[in-house]
Amino acid sequence: MAERSNMPLIEVENLGVRLNTSRGPAQAVRGVSFALKRGETLGLVGESGCGKSVTALSLMGLLPDSAVVTGSIKLEGDELVGLADADYCRLRGNRISMIFQEPMTALNPMHTIGNQVAEPLRRHKKFSAAQARKEAIALLDRVGLPDPARRVDAYPHQFSGGQRQRITIAMALACEPDLLIADEPTTALDVTIQGQILDLIADLVEERGMSMILISHDLGVIAENVQRMMVMYGGTVVESGPTDEVFRRMGHPYTQGLFRARPKLGARKGTRLKTISGTVPELADLPSGCTFSDRCPLVIDQCRAALPPMVDVGPGHLARCIRTDVSMAERVGALTA
Amino acid sequence: MSVFVLRRLLTLLATLVGASLIIFLVLDALPGNAAQMLMGADASPDAVRALTIKLGLDQPLAVRYVQWIKGLAVGDLGNSYVYGTPVGSLIAERLVLTIPLAIMAMTITVTLALAAGIYTAANHNRLGDVGVMSLTQVGIALPNFWFAILLVLLFSVRLQWLSAGGFAGWEDGIWPGIKSLLLPAISLAVVQAAILARVTRSAVLEVLREDFVRTARAKGLGKREVLWSHVLRNAMIPVMTVMGLQFANLLAGTIVIENVFYLPGLGRLIFQSIANRDLIVVRNCVMLLAAMVVIVNFVVDVLYAFIDPRIKVHDL
């Protein structure tokens, strides 16, 4: 057995998730593998419905009861797939925490924010009410909530969206988790607040030596906040690698499409945004072979025959494409921008 | 909080004044002269006129209304045309039955309904959910008087545990009184519990879909803990609304069950008074019922504010 220090904090192997959707069973995630060391940060990028949130929820063990999870998720060597809910409860909010997209609805409107932040402390660390309250105030102070000693007894509706997201961050950090999963933490916030919240998360991750999985559809957010990234499409990882490496030279036509589709400053007035033609396929009827084949400009018959393997396209940089010779001939990435 | 209560109290008073006006005017417009009814069809016109004056029925409408309201304010409801006894004590005699009956029926309703509603929501779409929900469907379809007769057949006729009707009163202690109200209370509760259980279930299910439930789970709470500490309080608002309506209904609308069990409750008093054209009793009883409904709603409103911190701010 590998030494504890070399063992990845979280190791996901060939993860598959089958969900019961309104259109019948669908393979929402398939063949997702990655490992994350302590202190490392990983970004998951993709459009809505690509499986990034389902991947995150399967790490949390919070998928609906009807979901079927296959493959393996190991937290410091301990298998999490198939873990009893009572055992999972000891990990959630304690060793793995999650921040959600919608701060307006993520807090219980009937409980004071102090109680909600104190809840994981009382539960996992067996703090007394007074201890937990004191710690909650300290946490609220750390996440930058003004006047926390006075506002600890206020209710969620008395705070703005940005403040509420700070409160959910305080809640997620309460027990100093090893892994923080942030699922689109700034998507619902004003642009001016987004940067502040991302900076706060980055500071806290650094300060506490946590690992983080940051989920976003925004390439800019990913580029600035994580060391490694995975691009997901149709439930599979289509490209992965060190963030700098991927942005330097993108390998997969889908990643390139996402990159080209972002709005650019200084573009001439009247210039249309580049888009990826077609729409995200329903998970219930994905094309055979490469999941992106229906929308890919470089598609050939062979793409539809079987799901392409991940191929090496650079140091630690993999792309699930059989035409990287063509796609990467035209350099797309920060180098050309 | 106090401003909230004050506003609600003012609304309550205004509603009561409106209700009293409507009750007074409608009953006054009814055909049939109380004096004529009391004296019989053969009475001489002079005698009827004399009684009319004695009862004060010759006074103008406004004067009689003001007299009534003044009386209400000091607790003097006047005398029954038929019995000649004070209306206040007539009603009080009936309330010692009606109010305990309503409370008993409501207690049974709430106990059954919350247990069934929470159980079915927690076991959504499983066998227990389907089974209990089918039972509530049957419960809603049952006419309560028919169910009451079944209860009498079983517990009074066959098993002889409880009496088939009548009210024992509270003079011999609490137990005989409760015993004589048990079957009526159960009959009243079953249908209501079926409705309230369905309301509870859907309210809980709705809250279970909220984002904050997932947040609570992400903090490490088990499903049951989330249900008790996060979901129920949020689900209580619609449940309490229906509970308030049901309690008001139990105070006013139990006449059928009172008849089945031969109970001298408020419903029967109103029914008999209408038959006798004892309008002064009818008027005061209806006013009392209106007041009870308004007060129950007021209490429910105040409880909302206790449960939901947002109401204090938004509803001011």
Is residue B218 a part of any domain in this protein?
A: yes
| Of residues A100, A123, A172, nearest to B214 (C-beta) | A100
Token output for A178: 């090893």
pLDDT for position A1:
44
In terms of DSSP H, where are the helices of B56-157? 61-74, 87-122, 127-141, 144-151
Residue B216 pLDDT grade (very low, low, confident, very high; cuts 50, 70, 90): very high
User: Which of A110, A171, A183 should be substituted to probe chain B, the one whose Cβ sees the most B Cβ atoms within 10 Å?
Assistant: A110
Does one domain contain both A134 and A182?
A: yes
Q: How many domains, in total, are found in chain B?
A: 1
Q: Report the C-alpha gap between A65 and A85 in whole angstroms.
A: 11
A141 touches chain B (CB under 8 A): no
The answer to whether residue B51 scores a pLDDT higher than 70 is: yes
- Contacts of the segment B210-213: beta carbons below 8 A, 24+ positions apart: B210/A105, B210/B234, B211/A100, B211/A102, B211/A105, B211/A106, B212/A105, B212/A106, B212/A107, B212/A108, B212/A109
Is residue B15 a part of any domain in this protein?
A: no
pLDDT per position as a tens digit, B15-38:
999 999 999 998 888 776 777 777
Does one domain contain both A163 and A309?
A: no
pLDDT for position B277:
82
What domain range includes position B139?
A: 87-314
Does one domain contain both A214 and A246?
A: no
pLDDT for position B166:
79
Q: Which of A47, A41, A71, A45 is nearest to A59 (CA)?
A: A71
For residues A164 and A284, the model is more confident at: A164
Residue B314 pLDDT grade (very low, low, confident, very high; cuts 50, 70, 90): very low
Token output for B29: 């417009």
Q: Which of A121, A67, A65, A61 is nearest to A87 (CA)?
A: A61
pLDDT for position B40:
74
pLDDT for position A296:
87
pLDDT for position B311:
78
Does one domain contain both A217 and A148?
A: yes
Is residue A3 a part of any domain in this protein?
A: no
Does one domain contain both A251 and A189?
A: no
Q: How far is the CA of B216 from the CAs of B203, B226, B229, B313, in angstroms?
A: 18, 7, 9, 25
> For the whole model, what pTM was predicted?
0.82
In terms of DSSP H, where are the helices of chain A? 52-60, 85-91, 103-106, 113-124, 129-142, 148-151, 161-173, 191-208, 219-225, 243-248, 253-260, 301-305, 324-327
Is residue B10 a part of any domain in this protein?
A: no
Q: How many domains, in total, are found in chain A?
A: 2
Interface A:B, Cβ pairs < 8 A: 74
Q: Report the C-alpha gap between A218 and A18 in whole angstroms.
A: 26
Q: How far is the CA of B115 from the CAs of A232, A261, B161, B207, B233, in angstroms?
A: 45, 54, 27, 17, 15
CB contact under 8 A, A110 and B222: no
Does one domain contain both A48 and A163?
A: yes
Is residue B51 a part of any domain in this protein?
A: no
Q: Report the C-alpha gap between A34 and A318 in whole angstroms.
A: 12
Is residue B181 a part of any domain in this protein?
A: yes
A90 touches chain B (CB under 8 A): yes
Does one domain contain both A206 and A259?
A: no
Is residue B44 a part of any domain in this protein?
A: no
The answer to whether residue A135 scores a pLDDT higher than 50 is: yes
Does one domain contain both A197 and A306?
A: no
User: Which of B143-157, B163-177, B180-194 shows the lowest mean pLDDT across its residues?
Assistant: B163-177
Residue B58 pLDDT grade (very low, low, confident, very high; cuts 50, 70, 90): confident
Does one domain contain both A243 and A222?
A: no
A20 touches chain B (CB under 8 A): no
The answer to whether residue A263 scores a pLDDT higher than 80 is: no
Does one domain contain both A153 and A18?
A: yes
Residues 6 or more apart from A233 whose CB is under 8 A from it? Answer: A46, A47, A50, A254, A291, A292
Is residue A289 a part of any domain in this protein?
A: yes
pLDDT per position as a tens digit, B76-95:
888 888 888 899 999 999 99
User: Which of B125, B210, B219 should be substituted to probe chain A, the one whose Cβ sees the most A Cβ atoms within 10 Å?
Assistant: B219
Kindly list the residues from chain A whose CB atom is less than 8 angstroms away from the CB atom of residue B1: none
B309 touches chain A (CB under 8 A): yes
Token output for B296: 């129950």
What is the least distance, in Å, from the CA of B225 to any CA of chain A?
A: 11
The answer to whether residue B190 scores a pLDDT higher than 80 is: yes
| Of residues A60, A109, A123, nearest to B310 (C-beta) | A109
Is residue A58 a part of any domain in this protein?
A: yes
Does one domain contain both A169 and A51?
A: yes
pLDDT per position as a tens digit, B219-261:
999 999 999 999 999 999 999 999 999 998 898 778 888 888 8
A109 touches chain B (CB under 8 A): yes
Tell me, what CATH number does A59's domain have? 3.40.50.300
pLDDT for position A7:
83
pLDDT for position B316:
41
For residues B163 and A62, the model is more confident at: A62
Q: Report the C-alpha gap between B285 and B278 in whole angstroms.
A: 11
B312 touches chain A (CB under 8 A): no
Is residue A274 a part of any domain in this protein?
A: no
Give the length of chain A. Answer: 337
| CA A12 from centre of chain | 14
Interface of B with A in 194-253 (CB under 8 A): 210-212, 214-223, 230, 233-234
Is residue B266 a part of any domain in this protein?
A: yes
Q: Which residue of chain A has the CA closest to B210?
A: A105
Residues 6 or more apart from A45 whose CB is under 8 A from it? Answer: A52, A216, A217, A218, A219, A222, A229, A230, A231, A232, A258
User: Which of B215, B217, B236, B310 should be substituted to probe chain A, the one whose Cβ sees the most A Cβ atoms within 10 Å?
Assistant: B215
Residue A337 pLDDT grade (very low, low, confident, very high; cuts 50, 70, 90): very low
pLDDT for position B41:
73
| Of residues A89, A105, A172, nearest to B210 (C-beta) | A105
ipTM: 0.86
Tell me, what CATH number does B152's domain have? 1.10.3720.10
CB contact under 8 A, A105 and B214: no
Is residue B37 a part of any domain in this protein?
A: no
Kindly list the residues from chain B whose CB atom is less than 8 angstroms away from the CB atom of residue A60: 218
B158 touches chain A (CB under 8 A): no
Does one domain contain both A240 and A162?
A: no
What domain range includes position A291?
A: 233-264+281-327
pLDDT per position as a tens digit, A11-56:
999 999 998 877 778 889 999 999 999 999 999 998 888 889 999 9
What is the least distance, in Å, from the CA of B310 to any CA of chain A?
A: 7
B64 touches chain A (CB under 8 A): no
Is residue A24 a part of any domain in this protein?
A: yes
